Structure 1
Amino acid sequence: MTRNHARRGCLAGTLALLFLACNFATAQSVTGAGPEQTPQPDAPTPSPESTDPALTMFPHWEHSRFFIGGQANIILQAHGPFHSPYEGVNSLLPRGEYKTSLLGTLYLGAQVVTNPKFALDALFDLESAGGRGDSEALGLAGFTNLDVVRNPNLGSTPYMARVQLHQTIGFTSKLVENTQSQFSLGTEVPERRLEFHIGKMSLPDFLDINSIGSDSHLQFMNWTVDNNGAWDYAADTRGYTYGIVSEYDDKVWSARYALALMPTVANGIDLDWALRRASGQNWEFELRKPLLGSLLPPDRKGTVRVLSYVNHAHMGLYRDANRAFLAGEDPTPDIKLHEKFSAVKYGFGLNFEQEVTKDLRVFGRFGWNEGQHESFAYTEVDQTVEFGGDYSGRGWSRPNDKVGLVFVSNAIKKDHQEYLKLGGLGFLLGDGKLNYAREDILESYYNLHTWRGIYYALDLQFIEHPGYNQDRGPVLVESVRMHVDF
């Protein structure tokens, strides 16, 4: 990326555009969706106790076929020195460091067809991502800032993040309320319906969503907390791809299928358009029922989601790279030398959330993939387990504040371990050698709503065995975040 002052100039331009656009705002808040729509990462909901119910910087028109919104997110992260007898090319640096990331997004949309039963939305997002992560976002499987672009050479020039057509096909005349968002513009939708999103997108916009742990702008910040770390979802290095998502929604359940383009190389910015040899296929089933049945009041919402995926791409096997190095064929273990077209990587995930009281919610994830093929698109995790929750500030007269706590433990399979131990490099990890242990992360935050759409957060992440290496760490990462919803 360019120097800091260039990044700030680019972001300032983006934010100025957001401010101008939102003076003509024609939609509701861009965060969250109604209970009958696919759940999205949540923003605090205004309550009668709130003295400032406006949660965006500018008032928005409630009934319009057009949508204009935006957000800005600035995160300062730092860590102090930590124990490290050695380090490699892809290590988290053991000396103290601090970095700032800046992300601005402009959301635009228009309803081409307004009939709720056959609604058609045209959606477009412009985004700028600047700044850097600690150690250039290297050395951790569960990296500490989801806003960071993993390739620092891309720069912060604004780019098209999403462009989509969203088609709804209703199967009933019964309509349910829907909160307008950047993914769906209708204020009412059929209770039973089929939806299609076609175009440029990010798959976590639609799959593996969790209202407690998916939004790095108002909740947790870690990559493997906000997304399932073992889900190597199809995406370029910025997290976007081209694809189609189909979704059937009924009263208490939904089913989704997504087909998307894979990158041409691991963590690459270019996508492979030859679907016969490279693609990411994803399936998810969601059931919206209380998890504990009669143990909780009937109004306590609960949801379970089961996810599976199969990726075809130009990938290599860790075992082949290890054997070639040990046989003296390769000077260093290099999985790129053993990549083949149409290699197959697959995995599964489980995602749940449950309201316990009106203020307390808990959630968790489990993820697993076969781990023999290289980590290719998201992060270097073959198995993950997490559990956490959040608590509303309603009890101390701060209904739009949240405090959260989560623990996540990540792991990799034996061939992947051996590859790093022999000195191989992934696109995120590589200390030169490895004394393997699970990477364990404890994260907590307090998100403070100050005025209208302005939030500040303090975040702590304690990481044991960074990069799966028990010879290094632990490390404590401190963060301060400012978030603005326009």
Structure 2
Amino acid sequence: MGAQSVMIVRRWVVCALLAAAPLALAQAPASRNPPAQVPIENAPPADTAPALFPHTLTKPWYIAGQANSILQAHGAFHSPYEGVNSLRARGEYKVSLLGTVYLGLQPWQLLAGADSVKASRYNTDFLVNVEAAGGRGISQALGLAGFTNLDVVRNPTLGSKPYIARLEVHQTIGFTDAMTDNTRGPLSLATKVPVRRLEFRAGKMSTPDVFDLNSVLSDSHLQFTNWSIDNNGAWDYAADTRGYTYGATLEYQDRDWAVRYGLMLMPTVANGIDLDWAVKRSRGQNVEAELRHGFLPGKKGTQRVLAFVNTAHMGSYREAVQAYLRGTDATPDITLHEHTSARKYGFGYNMEQAVTDDLTVAARFGWNDGKTESFAYTEIEQTALVGASYDGKQWGRKNDKVGLAFSSNAIKRDHQQYLANGGLGFILGDGHLRYGRENIVEGYYNLHLWRGSYFAAGGSHINNPGYNRDRGPVWVPSLRMHMDF
């Protein structure tokens, strides 16, 4: 190992320890990742990895936290030109430092008692998450539609000052006395819930807290880190630049199926930190149906179908290109062709299937109409993703996990022409474009060290970064330190 590599690793380790110390750093813009589930006071369940400190499952309050630090780098790669929003062709490395403190309270359990059936059927959670985000992503999180680190805030000028990530009320209304086990975590405090129930959430939240969940492809802290693997890249879900918004969701859960709806605030500008509170003119609507039925006999599986419609002050790629070709605009600029209450709609499919007790495969497919500008998540209008994870029980490491995934992303013709003529999105813009699908392979091995501490090594290979066949390919190795408190 060369001197420069040693220096990189040393800096990363120091940064990781600094991040973990105050309990105040971990989650990401699109974050919906709960910490590893906590044990019962006396002994943890056999299939649960404990946190660094024991947590109660019987009290009406909840306190937890997590810290996540990711080091990513890449060497120099082929690039005949660069633009304002390009992934930098010179070698670079960056460290992200992120963390969250989770707080929760079940107020009616204080009065009814933890063992009350009524309290279980009609449970109320008050949830607060305080988050801080520091460090950077490679090239300031620019130049890749499927960016390599979900923990990176897409506007580095916001700084690392702590902020409230979630502030919500979660109400459960049961329709039966039959109960089923529920894993206690920062988004739901009950340990048992009615089999048939209505769940309502309102306040500040992340839209993927409720929608598009996947046990293989949703956790950037213990699994994959890429934006287009941990979420459906074509789902331009309502969020500010940190990945949060205000809204409400309504969800009905039955034994083998569920349906859910969400109404969220959209940002005032693409990738903006400010939200538009005029719901009549600007909103994100999501609906999802879930069927818990697998393709293999006797093996668990789940399928989800998602649809969304965003209404916001968004620009038209076609109008921006036409204005440029007419000579009206010196370069294509989508912000000059915005319309009040413009719409973007799309669909997604999400599945996971247990193959053996240790192996689970998963996939996502997504599409949106691509007429209006990418506004809240990333610049993807079609995506196809397959992945798998394998638990380490076979080699005596039950809390270890290895994963591999392939994601292929695309944009429509109007968006292609906009970038080819020198236009800028909020993530992409090389100044020119020889279009090709952005193809990403990511793998990882997540090693459970002790209690709630983990170390992961992984990497990505990216063909056509930013959809540009003139640039790349790029290798991005990754190291991650994660702690659950």
The two structures share one fold, judged by TM-score above 0.5: yes
Instruction: Tell me the CA shift for residue 16 of structure 1.
Output: 2.3
Contact 1:11/1:104 (8 A) holds in 2: no
**Separation of aligned partners in 1, 2:49 and 2:434:** 51
Deviation per CA, 1:295-341, whole angstroms, max 9, x where unpaired? xxx1x210000000000000011000000011011111000000011
2:268 counterpart letter in structure 1: T
Deviation per CA, 1:359-409, whole angstroms, max 9, x where unpaired? 111000000000111000000000000001011111111111001000000
Instruction: Tell me the CA shift for residue 56 of structure 1.
Output: 0.5
Change (3 A) 1:17 1:417: closer
Match of 2:60 among 51, 55, 65: 65
Instruction: Tell me the CA shift for residue 30 of structure 1.
Output: 4.0
* Mapping for residues 438-477 of structure 1, pairs under 5 Å: 438-477=437-476
2:124 counterpart letter in structure 1: L
**Separation of aligned partners in 2, 1:54 and 1:328:** 61
Contact 1:121/1:185 (8 A) holds in 2: yes
Change (3 A) 1:13 1:224: closer
**Counterpart in 2 of 1:26?**
none
Identity of aligned residues (%): 62
Residue 106 of structure 2 aligns to a residue in which SS? strand
**Counterpart in 1 of 2:358?**
359
**Separation of aligned partners in 1, 2:129 and 2:20:** 12
**Counterpart in 1 of 2:235?**
231
Residue 390 of structure 2 aligns to a residue in which SS? strand
Contact 1:11/1:130 (8 A) holds in 2: no
Residue 262 of structure 1 aligns to a residue in which SS? coil
Change (3 A) 1:32 1:318: farther
**Counterpart in 2 of 1:113?**
108
**Counterpart in 2 of 1:182?**
186
**Counterpart in 2 of 1:206?**
210
**Counterpart in 1 of 2:336?**
337
Instruction: Tell me the CA shift for residue 31 of structure 1.
Output: 3.6
**Counterpart in 1 of 2:294?**
290
Structure 1 unpaired stretches of 5+: 20-28, 34-44
Change (3 A) 1:483 1:10: closer
Change (3 A) 1:118 1:484: same
Contact 2:401/2:445 (8 A) holds in 1: yes
**Separation of aligned partners in 2, 1:343 and 1:289:** 37
* Mapping for residues 37-116 of structure 1, pairs under 5 Å: 47=46, 55-114=50-109, 115-116=119-120
Instruction: Tell me the CA shift for residue 12 of structure 1.
Output: 4.7
Residue 247 of structure 1 aligns to a residue in which SS? strand
2:108 counterpart letter in structure 1: V
**Separation of aligned partners in 1, 2:16 and 2:74:** 27
**Separation of aligned partners in 2, 1:71 and 1:63:** 21
Instruction: Tell me the CA shift for residue 54 of structure 1.
Output: 5.2
**Counterpart in 2 of 1:243?**
247
1:267 matched to 2:262? The reply is no
**Counterpart in 2 of 1:25?**
none
Change (3 A) 1:445 1:30: closer
Deviation per CA, 1:241-285, whole angstroms, max 9, x where unpaired? 000011000000010000000000000000000001000000000
Moved more, 173-182 or 400-409: 173-182
**Separation of aligned partners in 2, 1:415 and 1:215:** 33
Instruction: Tell me the CA shift for residue 202 of structure 1.
Output: 0.2
**Separation of aligned partners in 1, 2:364 and 2:193:** 29
Contact 2:24/2:132 (8 A) holds in 1: no
Q: Paired residues, what number? A: 452
Residue 333 of structure 1 aligns to a residue in which SS? coil
2:290 counterpart letter in structure 1: E
Match of 1:148 among 149, 152, 165: 152
**Separation of aligned partners in 2, 1:139 and 1:324:** 25
Instruction: Tell me the CA shift for residue 437 of structure 1.
Output: 0.2
Change (3 A) 1:226 1:441: same
Change (3 A) 1:224 1:176: same
**Counterpart in 2 of 1:478?**
477
Contact 1:10/1:128 (8 A) holds in 2: no
Deviation per CA, 1:400-423, whole angstroms, max 9, x where unpaired? 100100000000000000000000
Change (3 A) 1:9 1:146: closer
1:103 counterpart letter in structure 2: L
Residue 326 of structure 1 aligns to a residue in which SS? helix
**Counterpart in 1 of 2:417?**
418
**Separation of aligned partners in 1, 2:459 and 2:382:** 23
**Separation of aligned partners in 2, 1:180 and 1:81:** 45
Contact 1:10/1:156 (8 A) holds in 2: no
Residue 305 of structure 1 aligns to a residue in which SS? strand
**Separation of aligned partners in 2, 1:226 and 1:328:** 41
Deviation per CA, 1:167-187, whole angstroms, max 9, x where unpaired? 111111111111111111111
**Counterpart in 1 of 2:114?**
none
Match of 2:130 among 126, 140, 145: 126
Instruction: Tell me the CA shift for residue 11 of structure 1.
Output: 9.4
* Mapping for residues 403-414 of structure 1, pairs under 5 Å: 403-414=402-413
Change (3 A) 1:290 1:117: same
Residue 364 of structure 2 aligns to a residue in which SS? strand
**Counterpart in 2 of 1:378?**
377
CA RMSD of aligned residues (A): 1.9
Contact 1:172/1:190 (8 A) holds in 2: yes
1:376 counterpart letter in structure 2: F
Instruction: Tell me the CA shift for residue 15 of structure 1.
Output: 4.0
2:99 counterpart letter in structure 1: G
